[in-house]
Amino acid sequence: MKVHGVFLVAVFFYLAYTQLVNGQPHKDCQTSCGNVTVEYPFGTSPDCYYADDPEFHLTCNEKEKLVFGDNFEVIDISHSGELRVMNNVSYTCYDRQGDSSDEASYIYTLDNVSLSHKNKFNVVGCNALALLSTFGPQNYSTGCVSTCNSPSTENGDCNGAGCCRTDVYVPLDNKKFLTVSARLQNMTSVYDFNPCIYAFLAENGTFHFDALGDLKNLRNVSQFPLVLDWSVGNQTCDQVENTSICGMNNSTCFNSARGKGYNCKCLEGFEGNPYLSNKHGCKDIDECTSKSTIHKHNCSDPSTCRNKVGGFYCKCRSGYRLDTTKMSCKRKDFGWATILLGTTIGFLSILLAVSCVRQKMKHRNNSQLRQKFFVQNGGGLLVQRLSGGETSNSNIKIFTEEGMKTATNGYDQSRILGQGGQGTVYKGILPDNSIVAIKKARLGDNSQVEQFINEVLVLSQINHRNVVKLLGCCLETEVPLLIYEFINSGTLFDHLHGSFSSLSLTWEHRLRIAVEIAGTLAYLHSSASIPIIHRDVKTANILLDENLTAKVADFGASRLIPMDKEQLTTMVQGTLGYLDPEYYNTGLLNEKSDVYSFGVVLMELLSGQKALCFERPQYSKHLVSYFASAIKENRVYEVIDEKVMTEDNKMEIKEVARIAVECTRLMGEERPKMKEVAAELEGLRVTKDKHHWSDQYPEETEHLVGVEIISAQGGSSTTDYDSIKNVATLHIEAGR
C-alpha cells in the first residue's frame, strides 16, 4: 500500500508540473484578490505562476490587496505586458519660518520590470524643484521646476506655474529609482496656500492639476497609478521560436516594448488569456452577439451577420449583394452591370485567345529556329553517323537547348570554368545532379563551329581512359555545345604554373602523367579506328582528376588521318611554344607534330617552367632552346625543377630529358614515334617500380634472379626488355 501511495503522489506532482509547463496553472489557483483578477503567468502560489521568473509571483495580503515587488499595490494586469500599480507621492513640507518640518522620499527596486514610457514625472509647488534619479550601469536623472507667487486660477495642465510635468526615460538595466523634492528658496509668503512640495511618477492622464486644492494639500491623495512594463524572459520571439509559453494556434508572440523578452497576444477575432492553452486561453469572439463595441460586427442588418472562426461576415439572401461601403444588402442590378460584365468577359476571352495564338506562334518559331540551328550545325550528319554504328562510342547523347540553359543557370557568369581559343567552358548540373563541363563556341565565329563539329566527330572515334569523355552535344543553339565529364582538379598547367602550383607534383606523379599522356597519343596515332592527330598538345589541355590521373582534352583542332595518307596539308594551327616548327614552315601535318608538342610538355614536367617565357634571357625564352643547350653543355640538372630531383632519380631524369630533346628535334623524320616514346617512358617507370620492389623484398628478388639464370642456362633468353615492351604496348592499347 505504501508503494502505491508513493506512486500516486509522484503521478500527482508530475501531472501538476506538466500542466504548468504547458501553460496551464493548477486548477485550484487563486484567480482574484480583492477586485483584481489574477491570471497566468502571474499567480500567488508556486504552482500558479510561471516558475522560470519570480517577477510573476504576487502576494495577496490580509487586506485583500494584491502586492508586487517592493509593496507596489497592483490594480490591473494586462496580457500585453503592462502592470498598473499604485505609487507613493514624495513630499517636503515647511513651517512658517521656511524650515523643513516633514518629508518623505521613496526608493523603489524594479527587478525584472521597467518603467513604462506612459508615465510622467510631476512636481507640484511654488518655486519648487524635484528630481527623479535611477541607478544602474548607466545612472540617469531628470528634474522639473515650477514657480508661482499665488495660486493660479486655471486648472488642468502643468505648465510650470505651480505644477510641472516632464517625460521620463529610464535605461533598461537600471533597477532602482528615487524621487525627492525641495524649495528653491525660503519663501514664507507662500506658506498659507503651499506649505509642501510634491514629486511623484504617475500614469499620463491620471493626474489633473487643481491649483487651489493641490497646492494646499496634495497629501490627501497619497498615491497615483503607475505603469510598469513586464515581459517573459530575456529572449526575443525569434530566439525562443516554438518554446515560448504562448498558447498554440490562436495566440502569437511579439517582442516586448521593454527591449528584451517577449509577450503574447490573441489573434484578431479571439479574446482571452494568450498564455494558456487553446481550451483555456484565446477563444473565438462571436461578433454577431458580442456586446463589446470593440469586437461588435458592422453589418447594418444584425440578421445578416454570420460568425466564423476568427471573424464574421455579412450574408445577403438570394438576389441581393453586399454593399461593402455601408455593409448593407442591396438588390442586384442586372442592367448595365450585366452588359459591362459580359463585355469584359468577352474582351478578356479575345485577349486570352490572342495570347494563346501568339504563344503557339512563338513556340513554333522557336522550334523552327532550333531546327535551323540543328541542321546548320551538322545535326543531320551527326545523327546519321551516330545511328549508323560507324563510331566506336555510340553513347553520345544529343541534349536540348532548354536543358543546357537549366544546367548552366542561364549561362551565368559564376558558372564559367575557363575561356580560351576554343570557346567558353561552363560548369553544368544535369537533372540527375551529375556535374558536367559544357563547352560553348564564341558567337559569330564560323571556324569555331567547324572545330566543334570536328571535335564531336573525332571524339566519337575515341573511348580511352586517359581522354576526357564526351557525353554528348547540343546543336539547337546558334553555336553548338559539347558536354564532357567534369574533371575537378584543374589542368596540368595549373599544377605546374598556376593556381595549384603550391601543391607540388612529385617525380613519381610527373613520370606517371608523362606515361599516361604518351600512351594516349600513341593510341590516337596507332590504335584508334582512324588515326587521329591532336594538333594542340599542351599542359593547358591536360586535365587532372582527383587522383592526378591525366585526361587529354580539347580536340577542336584535331584531324582524322585517312588510312591511305601519312600526312595532311592544312592551315597551320596550334599554340606558340608547342607548335612544330616543321609544320609551321610547310603546312604539312603528321603525327610527328604531336611528338614535338609532347616533347615540350615533357620539358615542362622536368623543369617546372613555362614553354615560352619572355622574362627569361634571349637564348632561353623558348624552353626547347633552353633544354637543348643544357643537354649539349652537359648541365641538364641546372634546368630540372629542384622540387623533384634527388640522388636516387638523377639517371631517370637524365633519360627522360634525353627523350624530350629527341622529341623536339627540328626535322620530323628524326623524332621517334609516340609508340616508341611511350614504350621508353613505360620502361623507365616499370624498372623504377621493379627496383623499388626489390629494395623492399630482397629475398624474393634474389630468388627471381636465380630463376632467370636457370632459365637462361636452359636455352631461354632473358625477358627483361620484352616484359617492358609488352607492358607499354598494353598501356598504349588501353582504348576500349
Phi-psi region of 628 (alpha: psi -120 to 50; beta: other; left: phi over 0): alpha
CB 510 within 8 A of CB 676: no
Asked if residues 165 and 122 have their Cβ atoms less than 8 Å apart, the reply is yes
Q: Is 659 exposed, middle or buried (0-12, 13-18, 19+ CB in 10 A)?
A: buried
Euclidean distance between CA atoms 269 and 493, whole angstroms: 70
Q: What mean pLDDT do residues 452-457 have?
A: 67
Confidence of residue 615 (pLDDT cuts 50, 70, 90): confident
% residues pLDDT > 70 (the chain) = 80
Mean pLDDT of 538-554: 90
pLDDT band at 619; cut points 50, 70, 90: low
Is pLDDT at 608 greater than 60 in this prediction?
Answer: yes
pLDDT for the residue 564: 52
Give Cβ neighbours of residue 716 (< 8 Å, ≥ 6 apart).
none
Task: Average the pLDDT over 249-260 and give the result.
Answer: 88
pLDDT at 170 over 60: yes
Question: If we measure between CA atoms, which residue out of 537, 554, 548 comes closest to residue 611?
Answer: 537
Q: Residue 339: its pLDDT value, please? A: 77
Q: What's residue 708's pLDDT? A: 35
Measure the CA–CA gap between 238 and 241, rounded to whole angstroms: 5
Higher-pLDDT residue of 582, 488: 582
Lowest mean pLDDT among 150-159, 342-351, 481-490, 642-651: 150-159
Given this model, what pLDDT does residue 562 score? Answer: 56
Mean pLDDT of 641-661: 89
Residue 636 pLDDT exceeds 80: yes
Position 526 scores a pLDDT of 86
Residue 448 has pLDDT above 70, yes or no: no
Region 112-118: what's the mean pLDDT?
A: 89
Closest to 721 (Cα-Cα) out of 670, 677, 683: 683
HEC secondary structure over 84-132: EEEEECEEEEECCCCCEEEEECEEEECCCCEECCCEEEEEECCCEEEEE
Of the residues 53, 494, 536, 554, which is catalytic? 536
Pick the CATH number of 296-333 from 3.30.70.260, 3.40.5.50, 3.40.50.150, 2.10.25.10: 2.10.25.10
What are the pLDDT digits (tens) for 389-400? 555 555 678 888
Question: What does 212-247 look like in DSSP terms, one character per residue?
Answer: HHHHHHGGGS-EEEEEEE--BSSS-HHHHGGGSSSP
Average pLDDT over residues 605-632: 84
Would you call 545 exposed, middle or buried from its count of C-beta atoms within 10 A (0-12, 13-18, 19+)? middle
DSSP summary character for residue 525 = I
Closest CA to 495 of 551, 534, 429, 413: 551
Delimit the domains of the chain by residue range.
Answer: 1-78, 85-226, 235-284, 296-333, 374-485, 492-732
Q: Are 76 and 42 in contact (CB under 8 A)?
A: no
Q: Where does the pLDDT of residue 258 fall: very low under 50, low under 70, confident under 90, or very high at 90 and above?
A: confident
DSSP string, 322-358: EETTTTEEEE---SHHHHHHHHHHHHHHHHHHHHHHH
For the whole prediction, is pTM greater than 0.85?
Answer: no
Q: Is 545 a catalytic residue?
A: no
Asked if residue 692 has pLDDT above 60, the reply is: no
How many C-beta neighbours within 10 Å does residue 228 have? 24
Partners of 427 in beta bridges: 437
Query: Pick the residue with more confidence: 723 or 457?
Result: 457
Task: Enter the C-alpha cell of residue 24.
Answer: 496551464
Instruction: Among 378-387, 499-508, 591-600, 611-620, name the one with the lowest average pLDDT.
Output: 378-387
The closest of 179, 196, 187 to 144, measured between CA atoms, is: 179
First to last CA, the chain: 85
Q: Closest by alpha carbon to 566, among 668, 662, 667, 661?
A: 668
pLDDT at 734: 42
The reported pLDDT for the residue numbered 697 is 45
Burial class (CB in 10 A: 0-12, 13-18, 19+), 116: buried
The confidence score (pLDDT) of residue 726 equals 33
Range with the poorest average pLDDT among 313-327, 361-375, 691-705: 691-705
Euclidean distance between CA atoms 680 and 333, whole angstroms = 99
Cell of 735: 582504348
With bands split at pLDDT 50, 70 and 90, how would you rate the model's confidence at 388?
A: low
Q: At what angle do helices 650-663 and 674-696 cross, to 10 degrees?
A: 180
Asked if residue 699 has pLDDT above 80, the reply is no
**Is the preceding peptide bond at 41 cis, omega within 30 degrees of 0?**
yes
- Mean model confidence pLDDT for the chain: 80
Domain 374-485, CATH number (from 1.20.120.1730, 3.30.200.20, 3.30.70.270, 3.30.450.40): 3.30.200.20
DSSP annotation of 440: E
**Among the listed ranges 117-131, 237-251, 717-731, which one has the minimum average pLDDT value?**
717-731
- Is there a contact between 218 and 89 (Cβ–Cβ < 8 Å)? yes
Percentage above 90 pLDDT, the chain: 28
> For residue 123, which phi and psi values (nearest 5 degrees)?
-130, 130
Q: What's the mean pLDDT in 198-214? A: 90
- Indicate if the pLDDT at residue 21 is higher than 70: no
Selected from 3.40.640.10, 1.10.510.10, 3.40.50.720, 1.10.760.10, the CATH number assigned to the domain covering 492-732 reads 1.10.510.10
